[in-house]
Structure 1
Amino acid sequence: MKRSEINEIVRQGQSFIESFGFVLPPFAHWSVDEWAARTESCREIFRAGLGWDITDYGLGDYGKTGLFLFTVRNGRQEDLSAGKGMLYAEKIMISKKDQLAPMHYHEAKAEDIINRGGGDLAVKLYHSNDDGELDRERKVTVYTDGVERTFAPGDILRLKPGESVTLLPRVYHAFWGEKDDVLVGEVSTVNDDHVDNYFLNPIGRFPEIEEDELKHRLLVGDYEALQ
């Protein structure tokens, strides 16, 4: 992806988020110079991978296959292993109309995916089998706002604004916006996007970036250069 494209996606995404009354934390607005001046006090942000995260999954067509994410908080793997402490994470995301977040599952993470507003969020569901492939025989049972619902493999769950679904580990899911762009919330156990995303088809989680203009906001992937 070009940095100019990412900068515009961030600007538009921030406006979309704020249009629903969701207020981002202060560091969402820091300039590159402000980050450089605050590096020593931001170790927890770097550790947790908080902040802006734009991906085209390495496929080069963000409008068709991509996702806008901002990680608001993220716990610690060592706490998760110990079974106590900061065990949770939260993201705010934008799933644009007809923009696919590709089929994947998580080995460790359980998550609530929440339609915070906009269009409908379509979620296609499968179980993964023992080989990590789609289980085309086993039905998928999930909870939507505490209500048990069962789907045939490959069925599509549609969440209207205010609705949510709980997805447990090893449930394959792909999602996209219908009718309009969707503001999507995610509340989950500790999140590690580097090791706990298992895609059905091999793709990249983080994009390669062509630096064709100055950074408007730092992405999570830009933090390494500051540390």
Structure 2
Amino acid sequence: MSIAENILKVKQRIQKSCLKVGRNPDEVSIVAVTKTVPIEKIKEAINLGITDIGENRVQELLEKKNSIENVRWHFVGHLQTNKVKYIVDFIYLIHSVDSLKLALEIDKRAKKINRVIDILIEVNTSGEETKYGVKPEETIDLVKQISENCKFLRVKGLMTVAAFLPNPEEVRPMFRLLRELKDEIAKLNLKNVEMKHLSMGMSNDFEVAVEEGATLVRIGTAIFGPRN
């Protein structure tokens, strides 16, 4: 199928999942994940109405940024502290903050250019040792520390990468856990914390994520096809 057909199909699936649980489909945005995707294909998706682009690697993001305009860049991969300086002046949203050390580095770099950076806290809801993210039981403490110590960051919500399982229903508890954490944090009314977003769900499980409250779904394969 073409990229146009794929985007339409993803939107239809999001709409169907929203209707199933009484949500407004407008509450869910697609972040097109473009790791290893050629620039021509990305531009094709943008011409079809995609406005949010997610990258996993800083180097690839910087290379693509020079050729692509008028999009909101999301960083969705593991971010090393020594790479923060390369993206702070333009990044729209960093999905993967999982330590105070990383938050303090982003805050320091943001202060230098007098720019407030929006971030999400990455939570390891699957408990897999191979995955990044703060433990669920340590998430609230981390958000509190960032609220107290980082004046140039805004925590806009939470992100998770669920376990890759054959049956998407099996990952529902992971998405539900993230939503419950978000609701718990929202009640605390912390400074510079606005629990607006749940970044969860990818090509294999985004419908379940939408049913559980996702506002940002990170879609690569379902739009661009299998990666080389």
Answer 1 or 2: which has greater helix percent. Answer: 2
**TM-score with structure 2 length normalisation?**
0.28
Task: Please state which structure has a larger fraction of its residues in strand.
Answer: 1
